[in-house]
Amino acid sequence: MTISIPDLIAIFLSGFGILLCLVVGVQLLVRKEGMWQSNLLLGVLLILYALTLSNGLFAMAGIYAQYQFLYFIPINFSLSLGPLFYFFVRSRVHPSFRLQRRHLPHFILPMAQFIFYLSIGFRSAAYKSWIWREVIAPYGQFVEEGLVILLALGYLGAAYRMLRGIPEVFWKGPVYHWLRRFTLSLTFLFLISSGYEILDWVLYGFFEYNLFNTPWMAFPLKLSYAAISLLIGYHAYLYQHQSLILPEAPKPPAEESELSTRIDALLNGQKPYLDPELSLEAFAKLLGVHRNTVSKALSSRGESFRGLVNRYRVEEFIRLVQEGQHEHLTLLAIAFESGFNSKASFNRAFKSHTGSSPTAFFQN
């Protein structure tokens, strides 16, 4: 089998994108820092897109043609990408958000897609040939591709509308701008791929012309799929290194005592500790100094960065409860809104700073 130059380029870029998504996806699944639910959603998104893109890669490389028993193996998760991205964005900007049973309907179609391919993916080549002729080729592929377009663009639009409604809070500013760029870039690439899919339907329906039979004509579509993998892999890397998305701070102070004052002013005024992803490196960038300089300034006060941030988070939690937030939020949800990323870390920090559990503290 001879592979055309456009397909070779697409295979190379897709292969690199698949590798990037798999590596970063696994990193997110085992990541202990930050928000576990956001880590999980983005990690699963990366891995499922890598598997979905592998489906196209196998077709371009002639693997399916050579090993026909591999046709329709259950690695196509294209209907999962929209819901996973939307809930990742929602989880990232609303720390107290948690997936619940009422969100399961969003994953009915993705589960149906997986079950369908699972039911035929390990059958005989003759059966797969029959199901292609009788079910998938006549209408199944058009239904599936149509649903992919509707779900992807629908959930991307919902994510963008949600981002527009984010309140003007300091820590959410850089996160908002990053997620907005991420969403718009992803939407642009999906529009390209959707446009080509629709064009292929029209050409085949009216003129029986298959766009994929002309390598250079199909190249932008295949390139857009590869670009999506590179885009989400790159932004997943930024997600794990938040200091890269923060703006540069003004020139740092010369005196350590002045830096100590600026640390308190930043925490009291801008409340960056409300972001569960706040790291020492990101905090230092907000101050315009190296992380070691911040650590040294805090050490001179007998404090650590994590201890200082958790103290502010505990004080924020107590303030929110005293304001009556517990009347419509659970204590754990308030803890997440205060910047904590897990129940265990919240309980440890609360007991360390107050000497009692949250329940006992408010009962007294």
Rg, Å, the chain Cα set: 25
Residue 213 or 267, more confident:
267
Which tens digit of pLDDT belongs to each residue from 90-108? 999 888 899 999 999 999 9
Q: How many CB atoms lie within 10 A of CB 278?
A: 21
Highest mean pLDDT among 184-188, 217-221, 302-306: 184-188
Percent of the chain with pLDDT over 70: 95
As a whole number, the mean pLDDT across the chain is 89
CA angle 156, 162, 164 (to 5 degrees): 105
Q: CA–CA distance from 7 to each of 14, 53, 196, 259 (Å)?
A: 10, 14, 16, 56
Which tens digit of pLDDT belongs to each residue from 29-70? 999 888 899 999 999 999 999 999 999 999 888 899 888 889
Residue 355 or 169, more confident:
355
Which tens digit of pLDDT belongs to each residue from 162-209? 998 776 667 677 888 899 999 999 999 999 999 988 888 888 778 878
CA distance 219 to 6: 6
Q: What is the per-residue pLDDT for 249?
A: 67
Supply the DSSP symbol for 275: S
CB-side neighbour CA atoms (13 Å) of 87: 24
* Position 135 confidence tier, pLDDT thresholds 50, 70, 90: very high
pLDDT at 252 over 90: no
Which tens digit of pLDDT belongs to each residue from 262-279? 899 999 988 999 998 889
CATH top-level class of 5-240? mainly alpha
Residue 293 or 108, more confident:
108
Q: Distance between alpha carbon 254 and the CA centroid of its chain, in Å?
A: 39
Q: What is the per-residue pLDDT for 177?
A: 87
CATH top-level class of 256-363? mainly alpha
Write down the domain spans for the chain.
5-240, 256-363
In terms of C-beta distances under 8 Å and separation of at least 24 residues, what long-range contacts does 191-198 make, across chains too? 191/153, 192/220, 192/221, 192/224, 193/221, 193/224, 193/225, 193/228, 194/149, 194/152, 194/153, 196/220, 196/221, 196/224, 197/145, 197/149, 197/221, 198/149
